[in-house]
Structure 1
Amino acid sequence: MFGITHFEFFVVAVFLLNVTPGPDTAYIVGRSVAQGRGAGLMSALGISAGCCVHSLACAFGLTALLAASATAFTVIKFVGAIYLVYLGVRLILVKPEGGQTTGEARSPGAPKSLRQLFMQGFWTNVLNPKVVLFFVSFFPQFVTADSSNKILAFLTLGVVFVVMSMAWNSFVAWIAGSVTRRFSGKPGVKKWLDRTVGSAFVGLGIRLATATR
């Protein structure tokens, strides 16, 4: 259909990609730990929206142009790295829930609105140049060169990718949120969960900043 080939291998590869921990997974776990299942699910939705952007860009050739530019790659790489480190530091510096008093200023880990959670998930995905390179190098392998409907082929693969990613990310959010609820009455445990996830964010940001093409 539309010149798509080896579709079954595409599905398996996407599944393996989803179950491999990365910035998206770390972000969803971090939000689920900080605010519960709902926050994790909204973050997963934001990440899926970011995947939609990559799918559209790949289908219409913008991703290939971006991947071919060393300057654009470097800019996106450092912006994405700074953003991940910023999120990580906020989690590390979060104050225990019991440590706030009436009238105290909001801490770096104060609960975020659904819109904030969605947008943070969105930018975490969009600003990851590795995702850009994945789309431009991976998707074309499953579309025949003589396809007369390349745009529809890429869009179809993009839909499959987004649906599978959303399903897995929602599962991750549910599990992480469940763990958080078990420790909701133990602020000391939650504090160390926040710091662990935050440290992972900082590590991923540093890894992204030092990554090469």
Structure 2
Amino acid sequence: MLEAIWKGILLGLLLSISVGPVIFSILKQSINNGIKGGFAFIIGVSFSDISLAVAANFFTELFSQLTEYRKYIGIGGSVFLITVGVYFLFFKKVAVNEEGKQILKVRKRDYLKLFLAGYFMNILNPAVILFWLSTATAFIANTSEQRLIIFGIALALVFAGDVLKVVLAGKLRRRLTAKNIHLINRLNGIILIGFGIALLWGLLFYSDKLPA
């Protein structure tokens, strides 16, 4: 039991410190849409991680077959990242008041959009799919109860880390001007486009060299 707890902690810390397009989007969504908007986004990310973890552990054969289509899933994910990046780089505007401060305009239906954005940005990344499959395979010798502890702790730690990012970004937002927030949006757009192009390049020219 203690071994399962330690494995869960280490796995959670590994996921928490990993750098990818999602971490930048968490900060950006929190700055653009406030703490509630940031929470909606990370809940979507968390649900996608839970979906993948459950599928990898309890539907291993089906999940393994899904990885055979990782090239097509990855292309879809790359296009999604590039499209979102282009939007934030060229089209996203920051609403300001007469004092030049940011105005938050987040409607109830926008929270669903943020949830779905977090869900699909994470679940369409083939690296995330392969990570959960390889992790589930590595712990296949553990009992169902032990795996529940390992992945439960890991997912809880990742979510806690994302909550911390949202809170810190919310505090940072109060110190930023509209101009600075606009620059952050453009930077995030460049990062997303860069991740999308790099992922697409690897899938188109190096996917045949990856292990099946």
* TM-aligned CA distance change 1:156 to 1:65, over 3 Å: farther
- Aligned partners of 1:123, 1:155: CA distance in 2, in Å? 24
Bigger Cα displacement from structure 2, 12-21 vs 79-88: 12-21
Q: Which residue of structure 2 aligns with residue 107 of structure 1?
A: none
The structure with the largest helix share of the pair is 2
Bigger Cα displacement from structure 2, 127-136 vs 57-66: 57-66
- Aligned partners of 1:136, 1:111: CA distance in 2, in Å? 36
* TM-aligned CA distance change 1:97 to 1:30, over 3 Å: same
Offset, 1:181: 1.9
- Aligned partners of 1:22, 1:187: CA distance in 2, in Å? 25
Deviation readout 1:129-159 (Å, 9 max, x if unpaired): 1111001112322331xx5x44x55444332
Q: Please point out which of 68, 80, 84 is paired with 2:81.
A: 84
C-alpha contact (below 8 Å) 2:5/2:153 kept by paired residues: no
Structure-2-length-normalised TM-score: 0.81
- Aligned partners of 1:169, 1:77: CA distance in 2, in Å? 24
1:174 aligns with 2:167: yes
Q: Please point out which of 186, 191, 196 is paired with 1:205.
A: 196
Work out the percentage of aligned pairs sharing the same amino acid: 23
Q: Which residue of structure 2 aligns with residue 118 of structure 1?
A: 115
Give the counterpart letter for 2:180 in structure 1: V
Q: How many residues align?
A: 193
Structure-1-length-normalised TM-score: 0.80
Unaligned stretches of 5+ residues in structure 1: 100-109
- Aligned partners of 2:24, 2:122: CA distance in 1, in Å? 11
Offset, 1:17: 2.5
Unaligned stretches of 5+ residues in structure 2: 98-104
Give runs of ≥4 in structure 1 deviating > 6 Å.
none
